[in-house]
Structure 1
Amino acid sequence: MARYALVIGIAEYLSPSLSRLSKTTNDAEAIAQLLEQYGDFQSVQRLPQRWNQEKNGYEMAASKVTGAQLGQDLRNFLLEQAANNEALIYFSGHGFTISDNLGQQKGYLASSDCQIEFKDNENVEQKYGIPLDSLNDLIRDSQLSSLVMLLDCCHSGYFLERQLIERTLNAFSSQKDYYLITACRDFERAGVIKSEEYSIFTGAVVKGLAAENVGSSRRISGDRLFDFISSELKGSVQEPIRMGWGRSITLVTYPQIDIPTGEKVAFNQENPYRGLMLLNQNKRNIFVDEMKQFVP
């Protein structure tokens, strides 16, 4: 079954209330490269993207993405490109909530041209953002084999805590597998550390998808990634949350490592240090001498 990924990183915003995000482009490019190299995806689409002639390939661009373009690309990806296949969506950018006249909160993903109206220090109206309610409906209508979503934005937990639990969970049957991880709870803001290369959440994702985190199968699943992220973010200003359904979904797979045989070393049954079988003769002798002081 084919696999397709859509990696979104929006850094530029027109509204004064939405600051420029300095790490978003770098975050998204790091994720895209990992998926291209080890995710076995037929296509990793970047938004926004530019052609790098030196690399002879696309890379993330620090340019604007309108709400119309973001909505259309999400729709085409979910309903057409990834239809009946495995899909992964990564989003890095601004997220926000709007409080209506009844005091009910609704979550949005911000596009570059997004406009937010304030009243009494609260967001009360918006234009051109992507409503998480509508994205939820789009996912429900899609014919995907499986879906993985990684959301690195403020209030991203709203998507899980208020929407997917109540509605999308019923849309997915046992034939659909999904795994979703958000950078923070619905009331939290996703953070960055100026001295670091990536944002807090994506930095943990990049480490969690690295070869150092693979198991014996050389694969990293959604559960394995989330366990690593939770450990990395423990004690920080944000708490990642997850939701999964169905079978375990593999995100990346690393090739098996061929261990060079080198010079064969015969195992001495009288040697109590079995691990020394893998060391060369000189290192083994030095280690044995040092360890003798601990043997009564």
Structure 2
Amino acid sequence: MAGKRALIIANQHYDDARLSELPSAAADAEQLSAVLSDKAIGGFDVDALVDGGWAETGRRIEAFFRTAKHDDLLLLHLSCHGQKDMRGRLFFAVRDTNLDFPASSGIPSGFINDLIEDCRSKRIVLMLDCCYSGAFAKNMRHRAGPVEMDVTEPFSGRGRVVITSSTSLQFSYEGELRSRRTAEPAVFTATVIKGLRDGAADLNEDGHVSVRELYEYVHDEVTRFHPSQTPTMTVNSAEGTIIIARNPRTVRGPTTGVPAQIWRAITHGEVWERQGALHEVAQMLGSLYPERRDDARKALLTLAGDIDRGVASRAQAVWRDRGFGDLPANAGASASSVRRTVRSFGIDLGTTNSSIAYYDGTEVRLIPNAEGSVITPSVVAFSPSGEPLVGAAAKRQAVTNTDLTVHEVKLKLGTDWVLKRGDLTYSAQEIAALLFRKLRQDAETYLGQEVTAAVLTVPAYFTHAQRHALVEAARLAGIQATRTLNEPTAASLVYEAHRSSEVLTILVFDLGGGTFDISLLEIGDGVCEVKATAGDNHLGGRDGTTASSITW
């Protein structure tokens, strides 16, 4: 019987001091194992080996290929140091590899190539997150046949596919912004995990992720993150398309007549997605097919019990307008088993302090950090051992470590400012990303929910370059900026939410730690219109505490 098997080899620590530690390798193995073994995504039988020695690693790889059945889909992922000898041959370093004797203490790429060639399975995917990994393809023995995937047979593919994190001449970037307590995946593997976990690699949205789709997604994301790193893909003996995973976002619910994407939007989407889904459901209520109309009614009931009052009231109005009578008492319960709490997040990265909040459908709630406070000092530092410290921990040691402590990084965004620590150089965006990551991790710990997107507030007088740098910093921390919102406008929206619908013209002063804004706005009936704004990006509370006098 055909199966799906995966072997993950990750080496974080090395006996040879010339091979530096890869702090993310263990996290790579753990997170990738979870995604691949998830029955809703990969459905693989996963075996992982972390920090194995030469003999054990070689034995596990050989057994993996030699025990394969004819119709098995095999996936081998290596996350380790890649080295090339004087003849340009690639080998993979393991825990006890000695760089003086690479051929006898490392795993030669030719060894894996021979196992792939002799393997009974003809559906093999090899992913290499190693420096110079593109060199592997140079030694592959290609059989006759096309070297590109044929997309006319979407579920019956076979072939040998190698996806590498870099070309034969490039390094693979390790995540520089990392905590040694909770190491991040490297850039390449992190992108693979994200593409599979949230379905982003399902480029044609057919509910499945093919190997080619995964590669195209990873290539675009990695090159955008690090333009000097270029993933590669080599295909050998390809027939059809190899499907590697399912898109978890398109798993159908109880309403089989409702398209998977619409059902995903209803149960897992943001507010605007659920509003769009409501329009589609209303259209389906006029279908000629009774089964489709019945399923549309079930979906409408789900929306009628939505946690967002706007979505719920619109769905209830559609229910009444279609003459369906009184709403059942359990409106919305049809999706209770699959709906996750949909929250909208907002982040204020301040000059002095930062915070993250979420909207639960009724009100905005500030999220406490690991120290129990709803504000996090906007301070980043590096300890003598190189460990990044963020927030209160960084602030506590600021006096004794002034050279490697960064304050007010928000004011440095959009400039060429850098911090040098040994051989490493950090830009303002990368320092700000550590703050964003701290806020994200604290929120995820507190809520037990992944935070991948948020609205970012910015000073009204921030330039385009500063706004772009802020969005980039959030992206480096794994947060997509759904939009940026001027801080005075955000304050006005909160004010509007707690008052009557009377139209008012208001003046908002925002004196922050390092910036000063003033905005004239007209608010009412749920609309907030900015009439005028002005400010100074270098005038704030810090100036009042450092200057002998300030003239207002």
| Superposition TM-score tier, normalisation by shorter sequence | 0.7 to 0.9
TM-score, scaled relative to structure 1: 0.75
Amino acid at match of 2:207: R
For 1:6 and 1:65, the matched residues in 2 are separated by: 13
Partner residue, 1:241 = 232
For 1:82 and 1:19, the matched residues in 2 are separated by: 37
For 2:284 and 2:78, the matched residues in 1 are separated by: 53
Matches within 5 A, 1:51-130: 64-81=51-68, 84-99=71-86, 104-117=87-100, 126-130=103-107
Amino acid at match of 2:54: G
For 2:139 and 2:102, the matched residues in 1 are separated by: 20
For 1:268 and 1:218, the matched residues in 2 are separated by: 25
Matches within 5 A, 1:97-246: 97-99=84-86, 104-117=87-100, 126-160=103-137, 162-164=138-140, 167=141, 169-170=142-143, 176-196=158-178, 197-213=184-200, 214=202, 215-235=204-224, 236=226, 237-244=228-235, 245-246=238-239
1:125 to 1:86, Cα distance in 2 relative to 1, 3 A:
closer
1:257 to 1:126, Cα distance in 2 relative to 1, 3 A:
same
For 2:135 and 2:283, the matched residues in 1 are separated by: 60
Partner residue, 1:121 = none
For 1:266 and 1:84, the matched residues in 2 are separated by: 44
- Which structure has the larger Rg? 2
| Pairing 1:4–2:1 present | no
Partner residue, 2:25 = 24
For 1:89 and 1:112, the matched residues in 2 are separated by: 18
1:127 to 1:262, Cα distance in 2 relative to 1, 3 A:
same
**SS in structure 2 opposite 1:20?**
coil
For 1:194 and 1:207, the matched residues in 2 are separated by: 18
Partner residue, 1:273 = none
For 1:33 and 1:172, the matched residues in 2 are separated by: 35
For 1:77 and 1:47, the matched residues in 2 are separated by: 12
For 1:267 and 1:83, the matched residues in 2 are separated by: 45
Amino acid at match of 1:65: G
Across the aligned residues of Structure 1 and Structure 2, the Cα RMSD in angstroms comes to 3.2
% same residue: 24
8 Å contact kept, 1:115–1:126: no
Shift of 1:127: 3.1
Deviates more, 1:260-269 or 1:181-190: 260-269
Unaligned 5+ runs, structure 2: 148-156, 179-183, 254-262, 267-276, 287-299, 304-310, 319-524, 527-552
For 1:172 and 1:128, the matched residues in 2 are separated by: 35
For 2:144 and 2:205, the matched residues in 1 are separated by: 34
Q: Deviations over 1:30-57 (max 9, x none)?
A: 111111002122x211113xxxxxxxxx
**SS in structure 2 opposite 1:96?**
strand
Q: Deviations over 1:65-116 (max 9, x none)?
A: 11111111111000114555211101101110001xxxx2110011111011
Shift of 1:2: 1.1
Unaligned 5+ runs, structure 1: 49-63, 118-123, 270-276, 291-296
1:141 to 1:195, Cα distance in 2 relative to 1, 3 A:
same
**SS in structure 2 opposite 1:151?**
strand
8 Å contact kept, 1:12–1:21: yes
1:281 to 1:172, Cα distance in 2 relative to 1, 3 A:
same
For 1:256 and 1:267, the matched residues in 2 are separated by: 20
**SS in structure 2 opposite 1:157?**
helix
Shift of 1:234: 1.9
8 Å contact kept, 2:170–2:229: yes
For 1:105 and 1:251, the matched residues in 2 are separated by: 31
Which protein has greater RCO, CA pairs closer than 8 Å, 6+ apart?
1
Aligned residues between the structures: 250
Partner residue, 1:39 = 42
**SS in structure 2 opposite 1:234?**
helix
Shift of 1:224: 1.1
1:26 to 1:225, Cα distance in 2 relative to 1, 3 A:
same
**SS in structure 2 opposite 1:158?**
helix
Shift of 1:267: 8.7
Amino acid at match of 1:14: D
For 1:106 and 1:267, the matched residues in 2 are separated by: 60
